[in-house]
Amino acid sequence: MDSGPPSSGGSRGSPPDPVPGVVETAAAVASGRRSAREVVEEALSRVALGDERIRAFLEVTGEQAREEALAVDARIAAGEDLPLAGVPLAIKDNIWIAGRRATCASRILEGFRPPGDSTVVSRLRKAGAVFVGRTNMDEFAMGSSTENSSSHVTRNPWDRERIPGGSSGGSAAAVAARFVPGGFGSDTGGSIRQPAACCGVVGFKPTYGRVSRYGLVAFASSLDQIGPLARSVSDAARLYRVVAGVDPLDSTTAPHEPGDPEAALDRGVEGLRVSFLEEAQVEGLDPEVASNLEDARRIFRDAGAEVSSVSVPHATVAIAIYYVVASAEASSNLARFDGIRYGARASDADLLSLYVESRTAGFGAEVKRRILLGTFALASGYYEAYYGRAMRARQLLSQDFARAFTRADILVCPSIPAPAFRIGEKMADPLTMYLSDIFTVPASLAGLPAISVPSGLTRSGLPLGIQLLGPPFGEEAVFAAARAFEIGAEFPDALPPAR
């Protein structure tokens, strides 16, 4: 897309961004200043003009989006109060939208049509949102770069030679490129927060159990959470508020009241105990990430927080725990893709060939790697040494966090160990790719709410992100601290320069 004039968000007191955010769009449509139809038309033309260069979408569903917008306009005319009135959204391809395909960017689910809306989409629809299209992702959400899509590679709007992060790279890029004001992704080990940081947007993973996974294609069920991507903390809070809460269709949703993260935004951090994770000072940390972290310390101190450091010792083994637990659950969840009930069938010779050939042809290399790893970790003779040990280590990590939260209200670490890398740079080295998630995986394993907030640009103009973690169900404090940090960080709310 073409480079627009540098501008800042209305919320930051500078000239308004050419593309209004979630809260601003909803207010304009709800008050009748703009129609949902007009708003969605503009979003569709931005996608039509710009997505050829970014390739954030797997499918743009313009006709359905227009119909949805007309329905929203009718509801506004009838006096309904809609918190997301006419807000165009980009939805990751593993979240069901009724009447549209959901393929997880996998050949094995090519053409799959879900039987209805996921709970998240149904709540967004009720709130007046409009769905512009399905966004690209790493196949089955397994990856940190969106390069594992069976369809195509998505490019980072800040530098098209670089990855947008992953696995929710399509949604992050669509928001960063200003195609849509907001999007949704899923986060199993960092798949919302890491691409958000790579693309200079806000990404939020709620507490495990806060948001229903009904209609989210399962990857690792003890970790998966759906969450929003947006350009500001307040936009992310609005999107999160609409989808949070107990759902009878997902027994893992928690009965805790979601509270009001939007009302908490202006609380500030005066007197809040903000602790920086000692384990984030890893050897080989990118020097610009390290100095960005120091800036974050200053921002919190200046905002009145009580800044300290805290140790979460087992965070150092989080990646090892994660690749056992997540792969084990994936191998079990993905056993359902067998060529019988849905997806491509590669052979009809006999039942075993049907399974083997359908799965061999349908899954990409990374998915196979995780299935193999997970099958190994669960296999007789290895189970206790790998899965059993990882599960116990996971409990030790959760215990570390519980202790840390007796001394701190919010924990801070970088979101990514280095800015977005070049496309193709890590594809031949899976383990190095896995280490991209080093800072996001700990919160996933402990089920904590965590947000990535844009924290600055490197000298070469690539975004960085700072991550804030809260105790379980501590979303209000996380959003309040994130908003205070956002004000201090003064990240430019501007269209990324074209390059």
What is the spatial distance between Cα 23 and Cα 1, in angstroms, rounded to a whole number? 24
Smallest separation (angstroms) from another protein to the CB of 345: 4
Binding status of residue 113 toward another protein by CB under 8 A: yes
CA distance linking residue 7 with residue 494, whole number of Å: 5
Q: Does 393 bind another protein (CB under 8 A)?
A: yes
Runs of H (alpha helix) within 31-126: 36-54, 62-77, 119-126
Q: Which residues are catalytic?
A: 92, 167, 191
Nearer to another protein among residue 280 and residue 321 (C-beta): 321
308 interacts with another protein by CB under 8 A: no
Output helix, strand, coil percentages for the chain, rounded to the nearest 5: 45, 15, 40
Phi, psi of 404 (to 5 degrees): -60, -35
The CB-of-279 to another protein minimum distance in angstroms stands at 14
Q: Which one among 119, 331, 415, 444 touches another protein, defined by CB under 8 A?
A: 331
Reduced to 3 states (helix: H, G, I; strand: E, B; else coil), residue 274 is strand
Q: Which of 7, 8, 14, 398 binds another protein (CB under 8 A)?
A: 398
Tokens of 422: 């070049």
| Beta carbon of residue 82, minimum distance to another protein (angstroms, whole number) | 26
- Number of other CB atoms surrounding residue 342 within 10 Å: 16
256 binds another protein (CB under 8 A): no
321 binds another protein (CB under 8 A): yes
Residue 252 interacts with another protein (CB under 8 A)? yes
- The partner residues of 276 in beta bridges, in order of sequence, read 309, 412
49 binds another protein per the rule CB under 8 A: no
Angstrom distance (rounded) from CA 312 to CA 399: 9
Q: What does the buried/exposed string (b/e) look like for 208-226 if buried means 16 or more CB atoms within 10 Å of the residue's CB?
A: bbbbbbbbbbbbbebbbbb
How far is residue 470's CA from residue 208's CA, in Å, rounded to a whole number? 12
The residue from 267, 369, 383, 490 that contacts another protein (CB under 8 A) is: 369
When binding is defined by CB under 8 A, the residue of 354, 427, 487, 498 that contacts another protein is: 354
Question: Does residue 373 belong to the site contacting another protein (CB under 8 A)?
Answer: yes
HEC letters along 64-79: HHHHHHHHHHHHHHCC
Q: Using the rule CB under 8 A, is 470 a contact of another protein?
A: no
Q: Is 3 in the site for another protein (CB under 8 A)?
A: no
Binding-site residue total for another protein (CB under 8 A)?
Answer: 62
Cβ distance to another protein smaller for residue 173 or 330: 330
User: Torsions phi, psi of 164, nearest 5?
Assistant: -90, 5
The CB-of-209 to another protein minimum distance in angstroms stands at 8
Rounded least distance, CB 228 to another protein, Å: 24
Q: Which residues contact another protein (rule: CB under 8 A)?
A: 111-116, 248, 251-252, 314, 317, 319-321, 323-324, 331, 335, 338-345, 348-352, 354-357, 359-360, 363, 368-369, 371-373, 375-376, 379, 381-382, 385-386, 389-393, 395-396, 398-399, 430-431, 434
